[in-house]
C-alpha cells in the first residue's frame, strides 16, 4: 500500500542515458533496506521516460511486478522481491 513514507525517486528532467543507473541503484538500495514497494516518478508528457523505466523494470531480476499508478499516470508502483 502506497503511503507518504513509500520510497520515491523523481526522474523529471533526467536524460534517458542516465535513467538505467538511477533506477537500478534505487532498486538495489531499497532491496538492501528491506523495502518491498517503491514509486518511480517519471511524468506523463511524452512517455519516453515511462517506456524506458518500464523496460528497465522488465529486465531487473529484483522486480516482482510493476504498474502505472491509477491515480497518477506519471508514477509507476514497483513491487520488489
Is position 24 within any domain?
A: yes
Q: How confident is the model at residue 67 (pLDDT cuts 50, 70, 90)?
A: very high
Predicted pLDDT of residue 24: 98
Please give the tally of structural domains in the chain. Answer: 1
| Distance of alpha carbon 27 from alpha carbon 31, whole angstroms | 6
Predicted pLDDT of residue 81: 95
Is position 2 within any domain?
A: no
- Reduced to 3 states, what is the DSSP secondary structure of residue 36? coil
Q: For residue 13, is pLDDT > 90?
A: no
Q: How confident is the model at residue 11 (pLDDT cuts 50, 70, 90)?
A: very high
Beta strands in the chain (DSSP E): 8-10, 37-41, 63-69, 72-80
Nearest to 19 by CA among 36, 43, 35: 43
| Distance of alpha carbon 49 from alpha carbon 11, whole angstroms | 8
The fraction of the chain above a pLDDT of 70, given in percent, is 100
Is position 12 within any domain?
A: yes
Amino acid at each position: 500500500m502506497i503511503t507518504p513514507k513509500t520510497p520515491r525517486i523523481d526522474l523529471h528532467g533526467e536524460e534517458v542515458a542516465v535513467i538505467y543507473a538511477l533506477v537500478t541503484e534505487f532498486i538495489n538500495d531499497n532491496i538492501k533496506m528491506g523495502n518491498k514497494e517503491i514509486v518511480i516518478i517519471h511524468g506523463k508528457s511524452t512517455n519516453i521516460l515511462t517506456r524506458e523505466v518500464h523496460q528497465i523494470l522488465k529486465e531487473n531480476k529484483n522486480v516482482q511486478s510493476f504498474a502505472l499508478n491509477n491515480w497518477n499516470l506519471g508514477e509507476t508502483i514497483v513491487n520488489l522481491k
